[in-house]
Amino acid sequence: VKEHGKNNVKMYSKSMNEEAVQRRRLENELHKALQLDEFILHYQPQIDVKTNSIIGMEALIRWEHPTRNLLYPNDFIALAEESGLIVPIGQKVLELACKQCKDWQEMGHTDLRIGVNLSQIQLRQPDLVESVRRVLEMTGLEPSFLELEITESIAMHNTDLVIEQLNGLVALGVQISIDDFGTGFSSLSYLSKFPIHRLKIDRSFITNITNKSESAIVSSIVGLAQNLNLGVIVEGVETELQRITLPALGCHEMQGYLFSRPMPAIQFGSILESRIG
């Protein structure tokens, strides 16, 4: 029995080792990717279905890996966070996104806003507010068009620091939205403590939108948002049924595959242009 146990330990540590080696390799690659500008952004439109217009877009990171296919955030964001590389990567994302939004505004789409995801690690950086300020100055984007998306789980740790950082960002004129709203298992009390502007309703709440209790939840979230004077947008809209049902529940800003998948800047730009003409 003892021998057996020993072997198990050996096997365990071997696979742990392999995993560590692989992580190490990916981490090195992430470093290089930053230097070689292999990170790009895809943009997913946000639609106001009342006017059928594009009101903004969310920037979503992709990695153009030299030898593999396009890599998605699920493949590398966790490691980027653990290694701290998310800080310079997130900075790059912010620069690209603000610059792109400004470019499109200058082409005549003057009211477009840009949503950028902010990692918890970034939110803990003491120089976050200053670096956001610099990016806005550098790109010339008016702060109110930048919307930083944070998740509820942020509210559960280091609350004082988080509030201070968010207040600093809001003082710049930037907007804050709560991503994946309703999935964070957190108490709602942060809603009155945090300076926020918009709730993004998670797609898990709209999968069976004609279901009575599901639509009750959505209209309650909308009511909550209205009472708190917050904007609200639904994510992950995939079906025509959702598109026609949600406005009756008070929700007319939508994002999801039904309208468009996230796409490269070139493609997004030509869709914007075709809408203007």
For binding to ligand C2E (CB under 6 A), which residues are involved?
A: 44, 60-61, 72-74, 77, 86, 90, 93, 117, 119, 179-180, 203, 236-238, 256-257, 262
Query: Considering CB distances under 5 to 8 angstroms, the limit depending on partner class, which of Ca ion, ligand C2E, none binds residue 12?
Result: none
Query: Considering CB distances under 5 to 8 angstroms, the limit depending on partner class, which of ligand C2E, Ca ion, none binds residue 44?
Result: ligand C2E
Site string for Ca ion, 234-263 (x = CB under 5 A): -x----------------------------
Element (H, E) at 269: helix 265-276
Write a three-state SS string for 143-176: HHHEEEEEEHHHHHCCHHHHHHHHHHHHHHCCEE
Q: Which is nearest to 189 in space by CA: 213, 165, 224, 150?
A: 224
Nearer to ligand C2E, 154 or 272 (CB): 154
CA–CA separation, 46 vs 234, rounded Å?
Answer: 9
- Could you tell me the smallest distance in angstroms from the CB atom of residue 191 to Ca ion? 17
Nearer to ligand C2E, 15 or 204 (CB): 204
Sign of the Cα torsion 9, 11, 13, 16 reads: negative
Going from the C-alpha of 27 to that of each of 31, 32, 70, the distances in angstroms are 6, 9, 17
- Could you tell me the smallest distance in angstroms from the CB atom of residue 51 to ligand C2E? 20
Q: Which residue has the tokens 């009472």?
A: 227
- Residue 149 has φ and ψ, to the nearest 5°, of -100, 125
Nearer to ligand C2E, 118 or 230 (CB): 118
- Could you tell me the smallest distance in angstroms from the CB atom of residue 39 to ligand C2E? 8
Nearer to Ca ion, 29 or 149 (CB): 149
Q: Is 117 in the site for Ca ion (CB under 5 A)?
A: yes
Name the residue type at position 95.
E
Q: Where do contacts with Ca ion occur on this chain (CB under 5 A)?
A: 117, 149, 179-180, 235
